[in-house]
Chains A and B, each alone.
Chain A
Amino acid sequence: MNKIYFRAIEGKSSQYFIALVIFGGLAAIGMLVTYLMYDLGLGFKGGEDSILEPLGRLTGMNSRVPWGLGIVMAIYYIGLSAGSLVISALSSVFGQKEYKPFGRMGVYLSILLIIAALMSIILDWGRPDRIVNPFIYFNPSSMFSINTLLYSVYMFIGFLYLLAMFAENEKWVGRIALLAVFWAVLVHSGTGFIFGGTLRELYESPLLVPSFVAAALSSGTALIILVIQITFKAANRKLDTELIKGLSKLLAVFIIVVLYFITVENLFRGYVAKSREAEWYFLFGENFHQVLNGDWKAFFTPRSAGNIHHFMFWIGLILVGTILPALILFIKKLKDSITWINLASLMVVVGVLCERYIIVIPGQTNKVELVKGAKVIFKDSIDKLAGTITNANDVSMGIAQYNISLSEILQAVGIGSLVVFAFLLGVKLFDLLPTEAKALSTESPATSSSSEQEKD
C-alpha cells in the first residue's frame, strides 16, 4: 500500500479569511449573549426602555422546563464527536485500511466537538464561574459527576490519539484507537443514562442508553461524509468517491439501527397502560385528546408555538432523519450517486438534531402527576416562571411550554461557529489533511476513473 502523506493547507486565499472572519464573528456574538445570560440570569427580560428589549427573555427555559436548547446541542455534539472518532478509528481498529486518510481529521474534529459539547453544558449553567466545583466535590452517585470524569478523560484520549497519529507510531495508534472507541461508547452510554435514569415518564427507559450510541454513530458518520467532501473540495485535494460510498453503506446500517430503537421504544410505551397517555402526548402533541377523537386539525395547531416536538418527531426524525435517507441509501439507482449520498447525510445530520430535541424537551413538558388519577391545580400560587400553559379551567401541572429564544439560538450558533473556526485554523496549522485519498485498488477496480472525475 502506498504511503499516505498529510500536509497542512496553505490558507492564503481570500475565501479562507472571509470564512474565518464570518465564523469568528458569529462565535463572538454567541459569547457576548452567553455573558449576558451569566450576568443577568438565564431568564432575564429587559424592560421596554432597555437595549436588551429586542432579545426578549434571554432563554425560554422555566421552572417546568429547566433544560433547553443548550442541553439539546450538548448531547448532539457529544454524539457527533463519538461518531467521528469511530470513523477515524475504522482503519486501525476495524481493519478498514482505506479510511486511514481520514484518521487525523476525524480525531481532530471529535476533539473540537467534545469541547463544543462541554461548552454547551457549562455555558448553560447558572454559575459557569464555578467550573472547578464538579472536580473538587465529586459525587459518585450522580451520573453527571461520573460524566464529568468520562468527558474529560475522553478529551485527553483524543489528544493522545492525535499525537500518536502525528508521530506515525502505528502500534500506539492501534492501542489508543481501541481505547478511544471503548471510551466513546462509555461517554455516550453515560449521557444516555442521565435521561434514561430520571424519574419522568418520557425519560425513564434503559433503551435510551443504546439508542444514544446508535444515534451518535449515524449522525457522526453523516457529518464526516459532508465534512470530508467540503474540506477536500475547498483544499483542492483528490478524493476517491469510492470511500464516500463505503462510508454511506455504514451510514445506512446505522440509520436502520436508530429506526429500530425508536420503534421499539415507542411501541413499548404505547403498549404499557402506565405510560400510554404520555406516549400519545409524545406522538400527537398537546392536543392528543382531539387528535385521537379524529380531529386531525388539532395536530397542527398547538396552543403554544414552542410545543412542536410532534412535528419534529414525524417530519424531522421519522421522515427526514430515517425513512428518506434509508430509502436513498438502499435504492440501487440512488445509492451510487454522490449527490444523493450527500443529501441523505445532510438529512441524517438534521434528523438526529431533531431526535436530540425530542429526547430532551417533551420529557419535561409532559404533565406531572403529583396525585395519580387526579388533577392538581395551583390556583393563585403558580410560579411566574412555571411556563405552564394556563387556561381558565386548565391543570397547572399539565403541559408546560418551551419557546426557544433568540439568545439561545445565537449561543448555539456561536458554539457551532467556534467549531468551524477551530477546524479551519487546524487544517492550516497542523498536517491534518492527506494529499490524496483513494480506495484500495484491489477492492474497487473503478478507482482510477472516479478519481479522475474529482480532479476538476
Chain B
Amino acid sequence: MSDPVKKPIDRRSFIKMGTLVGAGTVASYGLTLLPAIQKERELPGASDSKDPKPIWRMIIDSRKCVDDCKDCIKACRTENNVHEDLFWIRKATIVREMANGQKLEVTAPMLCNQCDNPPCHQVCPVNATFIRPDDIVDVDKHRCIGCRYCVIGCPYDVRLFNFYENPAKATDDNMNPIYPIRMHGVAESCNFCASKLDKEKYIGKPHPSTACADACQAAGHNAIVFGDLNKPDSPASKKIAELVKNKVMAKGLREDLGTKPKVLYIGL
C-alpha cells in the first residue's frame, strides 16, 4: 500500500483483543468476589434459643433532663473512646418561639436514633454499616471505605466522619483501655454501646444498659431509660407501662421520614 495511513486492525485480532480484555475483566471480578462467597462470619448479639430476640428501646424524658448536667456525654466518651472533637451524644436545647414572645424550652440528649429502617445501612456501598441480629446498627470500621454516603444519608446528622486522628491517647485517664482509639478516614456513630451490652449479657446482668442511661440513673435524673421490651421487668418496659397509665405520648424524631427510630422522646 502506498497509503501513508497504517493498516487498520483486522477482524481476527480485534476479536482476539476484545476477548482478552473481556476475559481479564471477568476474571478480576471473579477473584475479588471469592471472599464474599465464603460464609459471613457470625455476628455478635445473636439470640440463642432460650432467649427471644431483644427489642431495644431508649426512652428520653425531656421533662426530667437537667439543663447543666453532662454526665451522659462524659460516660459515652469514657466508654467508647469517642474522637475528642466529636460527640456521639449531644445535649440539645429545643426552643419553640410562641407568638407573644414567650419561649417553650426543654433540654434532651440527642444521639443516633438506631432506626429500624436505617438510611445509613441502606446506602452503604460496602455493607460496612450493618444491622446486628438484635437490630442494633453498627459500623465495621475495618471495612468502611470512608465515602461518607452514610453521613449524607442520615437525616439526623449523627453519623460522624473522623476527619483526622483522634488527638486523645489510649493512655489518658478518661479512656477505656479495652476499646481502640478511633482511626481517621472512617465514619462511625453511636451503637447503643453494643459491646457493653454483649459484655453485660455474657456476665449475666439481667438488664444490660448503655453507658449514658447508666450515668443518667447514677445522677438520679432517670431521663434516659434503656431496655429490652421483650422483658416485662426491664426499665424500658416499666417506663412504657407508666406512660400508658398516665396517657403520655412518646415519639421518635422526624418520624415522617419513615426511618422508624428506636429512640423515643417525651415532651418534644
Within A134-148, which residues are at the interface with B (CB < 8 Å)? 134-139, 141-145, 148
Does the CB pair A126–B14 fall under 8 Å?
no
**A35 proximal to B (CB < 8 A):** no
Does B86 belong to the interface (CB within 8 Å)? yes
A52 to B264, CA, bound (A): 46
Q: In the bound complex, what is the Cα–Cα distance between A120 and B171 (angstroms)?
A: 38
In contact, B268 and A371 (Cβ under 8 angstroms):
yes
Question: With A43-B163, A43-B164, A380-B91 in contact, is A63–B157 under 8 Å at CB?
Answer: yes
Nearest A residue to B187 via CB reads A126
Docked complex Cα distance between A42 and B179 (Å): 23
A61-B163, A63-B160, A380-B70 in contact; A130/B145 too (CB < 8 A)? yes
- Asked whether B157 lies within 8 Å of A368 as measured between CB atoms, the reply is yes
A160 to chain B, nearest CB (A): 6
Q: Which of B33, B85, B148 contacts A385 (CB 8 A)?
A: B85
Q: B10 within 8 Å of A by Cβ?
A: yes
- The distance in angstroms between the C-alpha atoms of A135 and B30, with both chains bound, is 10
Q: Is the CB of A200 within 8 A of B125?
A: no
CB atoms of B148 and A134 under 8 A apart: no
Q: Does B165 contact A (CB under 8 A)?
A: yes
**B8: interface (CB < 8 Å):** yes
Query: Which chain A residue lies CB-closest to B107?
Result: A379
Which residues of the partner chain B approach A381 to less than 8 Å between Cβ atoms?
A: 70, 73, 87, 89-91
Q: Given contacts A63-B151, A126-B184, A383-B86, is CB(A166)–CB(B8) below 8 Å? A: yes
Which residue of the partner chain, among B4, B18, B85, contacts A383 with CB atoms under 8 Å? B85
Nearest chain B residue, comparing its CB with the CB of A124 = B147
**Which listed residue, B94, B148, B256, touches A67 by the CB 8 Å rule?**
B148
Q: List B contacts of A128 (CB < 8 A).
A: 145
Least CB distance, B252 to chain A, in whole angstroms: 11
**Interface flag for B161 (CB, 8 Å):** yes
> A127: which B residues are within 8 A, CB to CB?
144-146, 185-186
Q: If A159-B21, A374-B94 touch, does A66 touch B5 (CB 8 Å cutoff)?
A: no
Q: A62 interface residue, CB < 8 Å from B?
A: yes
CB-CB nearest in chain A for B96: A374
- Check if B126 sits within 8 Å of A133, measured CB to CB: yes
A268 within 8 Å of B by Cβ? no
For the complex, what is the distance from the CA of A164 to the CA of B32, rounded to whole Å?
A: 28
Chain B: CB-nearest residue to A164: B14
**B94 surroundings in chain A (CB, below 8 A):** 371, 374-377
With A167-B11, A384-B86 as contacts: A143 and B148 at CB distance below 8 Å: no
Q: Specify which chain B residues have a CB less than 8 angstroms from the CB of A446 in the assembled complex.
A: none
Q: Does B66 contact A (CB under 8 A)?
A: no
> Given contacts A64-B157, A379-B91, could you give 18 more A-B pairs where the C-beta distance is less than 8 Å?
A41-B164, A42-B161, A126-B145, A134-B126, A139-B127, A142-B122, A166-B8, A167-B8, A168-B9, A172-B14, A199-B153, A376-B95, A379-B93, A380-B70, A381-B89, A382-B90, A385-B85, A397-B157
Give 3 nearest A-B pairs by CB, closest first.
Answer: A126-B146, A43-B163, A126-B185
| A-B contact list, 30 entries, CB within 8 Å | A41-B185, A44-B164, A63-B161, A64-B157, A125-B146, A125-B185, A126-B148, A126-B186, A127-B146, A127-B185, A130-B144, A133-B126, A133-B128, A137-B126, A137-B143, A139-B127, A142-B123, A145-B126, A159-B21, A163-B9, A168-B9, A172-B14, A198-B153, A199-B155, A373-B96, A374-B95, A378-B87, A378-B90, A381-B87, A385-B86
What residues of chain B have their CB less than 8 Å away from a CB belonging to chain A?
3-6, 8-11, 13-14, 17-18, 21-22, 25, 29, 32-33, 35-36, 70, 73, 85-87, 89-97, 110, 119, 122-128, 143-149, 151-153, 155-157, 160-165, 184-187, 253-254, 256-257, 259, 268
